[in-house]
Each structure stands twice: as structure tokens, then as C-alpha cells.
Amino acid sequence: MMAQVQVKEEKTIPNAVKFVMGGSAGMAATLVVQPLDLVKNRMQLSGSGGSKAYKTSFHCIQDIIGKEGVFALYNGISAGLLRQATYTTTRLGIYTWLFEMCSTGDKPPGFFTKAGLGMAAGIAGAFVGTPAEVALIRMTSDGRLPLAERRNYKNVFDALMRITREEGILTLWRGAIPTMGRAMVVNAAQLASYSQAKQLLLGTGFFSDNVGCHFAASMISGLVTTAASMPVDIAKTRIQNMKMIDGKPEYTGALNVLSRVIQQEGFFALWKGFTPYFLRLGPHTVLTFIVLEQMNAAYYEHVLGVKKSKGSL
């Protein structure tokens, strides 16, 4: 009798579950960092269109609470959650799926491959998430406008319906190109630097694949991503918030925004709102990756019955 050799197929998380886990991790993180996202948007818009310029992030927070109340820091939370449910679900779902496809056993893909996977996932996620992003920018910036000029959206669904009805459905994808450009930078920096930092930390022998390692890798990733993506983010924010002036758009494109910011506000204005952006992106990165890693580990152990020695990012 010929011996039959059975090859045990490695158990993996279904793609649909990866997408749900990615979105859930992003939404959980957003509940914590939404006030910082609002402050970041207000800082990036300050000084544009004759609006009030905030000196510091704390000045911005003080002004918002003093004039609009403490709960105003959570304006646009429905849009923030919908953005995570669309953008983060897509980008993290696609990234984890591609990451496993490009891994050989326990050997992860190389850094440049990770960056490429991050870019591909970011472009797809950004296109899907742009409508919620437009609503989020408008809802978080509404309080800086005079009462007569405020849009006063009730929630994200009211915002999406009114934008479609009043300005046309294509307005929901206003700024889609700089949004996708930002997503390429953010995801290439964030996902690749997280995976690479985690790999390097594990290689030192001082870390094991646990929450401490995930936290350290996330903080490194957050700092790299903040520095790399802020100029693209400020262009995206101003385009999505712009109004028509005498029938013409305030900006003609991302390069027009960047050149005008440099001319009128100085080169380092491209990093205006760095502190709230990092304080928002850093914890959001930390919380998203920690929650995602824990959900991945729990699914492997309790659903698939596999005790993974290494994570899936």
C-alpha cells in the first residue's frame, strides 16, 4: 500500500471577517479621538477665507468649548464613524488579505512590498470613504462659520442627502483625487512602517508579539505617517470644505492649495495642526492596530482553534 501524505491546510481568517474587523477597530478608535480630529480640521482651515486663525491647538480647544460647548468637540461623530465603516473597513480588509497572500509561511513580505500593498489598499479605501470624509470635514468645521453661513447638518445621512440634493451627487467625491493621494501616503507610511517597526522590534529580542510591541510599533508608525501625510491632508481638507465664489471654486486643485498656503501663510503652514494631527493619528493608529491584532488573535484561537505565534500585520 502506498502511504498517503496529507497536507494540512493552514487555517486563515475569511476575507469578509477581515473587512469587518478592520472597520470595527477603526470605529472603536474614532470614539476616542474624534475631538482631536475636529481640532485638527479647524486648525487646518484657520486663516483661510478670512476665518479666525488659532495660535495653538489649546487655543482652538478653548475657543470651541467657550463658544460652542464641550459637546461640540464631538460634532461630526456620525460622519467619523461612517468614514471608518467605509474607508477603514476597505483599506485594512484589503491590506490584511494582500499581506497574507504575499507572506510565505511565517515570513512576511518585504518593506517595499508592504508599502505597495498599503498604497493599493489606501486608494480603494479612500474612494469608498470620500463621501463620508466630505461630510466629516464640513460637520467638524461648521462651528467656525458665522451663524448665517453654517450648513447645520443634523447627522451624516442628512449631510449626504443635502449635499446630493443641493450640489449634485459628484460633490460627494469632491477632493477624491487628493484624498486618494493622501491615502496612498498615509497607508504606505502607516501600514508599512507599522509592519516594519513591529518586525524590527521583535528582532531585537526585547519584545514578544504582544500589546507592548503593538503599542511601540504603532507610535513609531503614527509619527512617520503624520510627518509624511500632513501637506496632502491640508490640501484635501481645504478642497473639501471650499465654497463657490462668484460661481468659481475657491481652489483649482491640490497644487493650487499648497502653493497658496506657502505664499500666504509660509512653508511650515503645511504642517499647521501638527500636534492635534499627531495626537489624533498616534492614538488612532495605536488603538486601531491593537484592537485589530487582538481581534485577529481571538478569532484564530477561539474560532479556528489555532494559537498563532505571530500576528497578521
Q: Is residue 267 part of a domain?
A: yes
- The total number of structural domains that make up the chain: 1
Q: Is residue 70 part of a domain?
A: yes
Q: Which of 184, 174, 169 is nearest to 138 (CA)?
A: 174
**Cell 485589530, located at residue:** 292
Lowest mean pLDDT among 82-91, 153-162, 270-279, 293-302: 270-279
- Tally of helices (H runs) and strands (E runs) in the chain: 10, 2
| pLDDT tens-place string over residues 127-171 | 999 999 999 999 988 888 888 888 999 999 999 999 999 999 999
**Cell 479621538, located at residue:** 33
Could you give phi then psi for residue 208, rounded to 5 degrees?
Answer: -115, 170
Residue 84 cell numbers, joined: 471608518
Q: Please tell me the distance from the alpha carbon of residue 19 to that of residue 14, in angstroms, as a whole number.
A: 9
Q: Is residue 89 part of a domain?
A: yes
Max distance between CA atoms of the chain, in angstroms, equals: 87
Q: Is residue 39 part of a domain?
A: yes
Q: Please tell me the distance from the alpha carbon of residue 195 to that of residue 58, in angstroms, as a whole number.
A: 33
Q: How far is CA 165 from the centre of its chain?
A: 27
- pTM value is 0.70
For strand 244-245 and strand 248-249, is the pairing parallel, antiparallel, or unpaired? antiparallel
Full residue range of the structural domain in which residue 172 is found:
15-45+55-302
Look up residue 274 and give its amino acid: F
Q: For position 134, which CATH number holds?
A: 1.50.40.10
Q: Please tell me the distance from the alpha carbon of residue 246 to that of residue 243, in angstroms, as a whole number.
A: 10
Exposure pattern of 18-46 as b/e (b: 16+ CB <10 Å)?
Answer: bbbbbbbbbbbbbeebbbbbbbbbbbbbb
Q: Is residue 10 part of a domain?
A: no
| pLDDT tens-place string over residues 180-238 | 888 888 888 887 888 889 989 998 888 888 888 988 988 888 888 888 888 888 888 88
Q: Is residue 196 part of a domain?
A: yes
Exposure pattern of 242-272 as b/e (b: 16+ CB <10 Å)?
Answer: beeeeeeebbeebeebbebbeeebeeebbbb
Q: Is residue 5 part of a domain?
A: no
| pLDDT tens-place string over residues 120-130 | 999 999 999 99
Contact 285, 225 (CB under 8 A): yes
Helix (H, G, I), strand (E, B) or coil at 146: coil
298 burial class (0-12, 13-18, 19+ CB within 10 angstroms)? exposed
Q: Look at residue 5 in the predicted model and tell me its pLDDT.
A: 45
| pLDDT tens-place string over residues 36-66 | 888 888 887 776 655 566 778 888 899 899 9
Q: Is residue 224 part of a domain?
A: yes
